[in-house]
């Protein structure tokens, strides 16, 4: 067994054993609240959308996420989505009343939404069946080359109205969102070649309902999927971001398989690394 193979096996074993379990509470909620308070509405929207589809949310957490989403959408002037988010909160907190400190226009808007919900007999009390997004992520891609991506959706109740691809170059920029195209049961979108540059590209898929609210995700803003983009002639295994990707994949709860082919010939050994994200 080569030294590279040993290092890879040890590193992955350590990461698996050290991967933290989900702490009590959803940390994305407070992050979204902070972004909203700082008037960073687009960032808050991405964070809160990720928070909504995270597993393990309590009833109170879900209500708070829907409420923050409603305020964020309204701050962006997206009234239809704001109403949809607020209606998502009402079955969880049917007696909630907007605080008197908020702007009268916003309070009046949400009061009208609640009145319409009451008139319809308080719909939406039962949990809908889950939506699942299936996608295989490429391990590596050549710089400046477009990345075509595809996904399928299992949606028993027909809740999904659109699947969105969000991507960014590197790890710091705000995600750019693209609508996917549906054909023959498969959703497709392409990351433009101009945005594919070393060391990596991050992305995730997000399924939206008719009100523009997220109902499922494959990856998210806090734990995106990643594609390695090496420098020309570079060795992926020798780059710091290669191990960062492995760490993020394991910590994000995504299954990673490393296939290493070692040379049996004399001289320097070479290895091929393929990360398959199921």
Q: Please indicate, yes or no, whether the overall pTM of this predicted structure exceeds 0.85.
A: no
Phi, psi dihedrals of residue 98, rounded to the nearest 5°: -60, 140
Residues of the chain with pLDDT under 50: 1-23, 248-278
At residue 266, the pLDDT reads: 38
Residue 275's beta-bridge partner residues?
258
Q: How far apart are CA 275 and CA 84, in angstroms?
A: 38
At residue 268, the pLDDT reads: 43
Domain extent listing, the chain:
21-119, 132-277
Surface-to-core class of residue 22, CB atoms within 10 Å of its CB (0-12 exposed, 13-18 middle, 19+ buried) = exposed
Q: How far apart are CA 128 and CA 107, in angstroms?
A: 29
At residue 127, the pLDDT reads: 73
The answer to whether 190 and 196 have CB atoms below 8 angstroms apart is no
At residue 102, the pLDDT reads: 87
The answer to whether 163 and 218 have CB atoms below 8 angstroms apart is no
At residue 124, the pLDDT reads: 81
Query: 12-68, pLDDT tens digit by residue?
Result: 333 333 333 344 589 999 999 999 999 999 999 999 999 999 989 999 999 999 999
132-277: in CATH 3.40.630.30? no
Q: How far apart are the first and last CA of the chain?
A: 26
Longest dimension (CA), the chain: 79
Structural tokens at position 172:
């710091």
Q: How far apart are CA 11 and CA 2, in angstroms?
A: 14
CATH class assigned to 21-119: mainly alpha
At residue 242, the pLDDT reads: 54
The answer to whether 172 and 126 have CB atoms below 8 angstroms apart is no
The answer to whether 229 and 141 have CB atoms below 8 angstroms apart is yes
At residue 238, the pLDDT reads: 56
Structural tokens at position 74:
């309204």
Q: How far apart are CA 114 and CA 119, in angstroms?
A: 9
């Amino acid at each position: 067994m080569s030294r590279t193979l040993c290092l890879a096996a040890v590193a992955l074993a350590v990461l698996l054993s050290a991967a933290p379990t989900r702490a009590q509470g959803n940390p994305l909620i407070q992050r979204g609240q902070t972004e909203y308070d700082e008037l960073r509405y687009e960032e808050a929207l991405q964070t809160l959308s990720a928070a909504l589809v995270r597993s393990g949310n309590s009833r109170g957490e879900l209500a708070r996420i829907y409420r923050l989403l409603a305020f964020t959408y309204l701050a962006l002037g997206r009234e239809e989505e704001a109403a949809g988010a607020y209606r998502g909160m009402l079955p969880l907190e049917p007696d909630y009343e907007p605080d008197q400190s908020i702007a009268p226009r916003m309070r009046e808007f949400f009061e009208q939404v609640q009145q319409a919900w009451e008139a319809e007999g308080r719909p939406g009390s039962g949990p809908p069946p889950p939506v699942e997004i299936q996608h295989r992520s490429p391990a590596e891609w050549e710089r400046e080359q477009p990345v075509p991506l595809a996904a399928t959706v299992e949606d028993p109740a027909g809740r999904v109205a659109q699947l969105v691809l969000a991507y960014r170059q590197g790890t710091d920029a705000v995600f750019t969102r693209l609508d996917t195209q549906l054909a023959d049961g498969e959703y497709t979108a392409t990351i433009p070649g101009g945005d594919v540059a070393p060391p990596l590209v991050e992305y995730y898929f997000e399924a939206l309902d008719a009100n523009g609210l997220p109902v499922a995700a494959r990856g998210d803003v806090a734990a995106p999927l990643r594609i390695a983009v090496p420098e020309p002639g570079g060795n992926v295994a020798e780059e710091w971001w290669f191990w960062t990707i492995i760490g993020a994949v394991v910590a994000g709860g995504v299954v990673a398989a490393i296939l290493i082919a070692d040379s049996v010939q004399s001289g320097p050994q070479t290895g091929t690394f393929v990360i398959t994200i199921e």
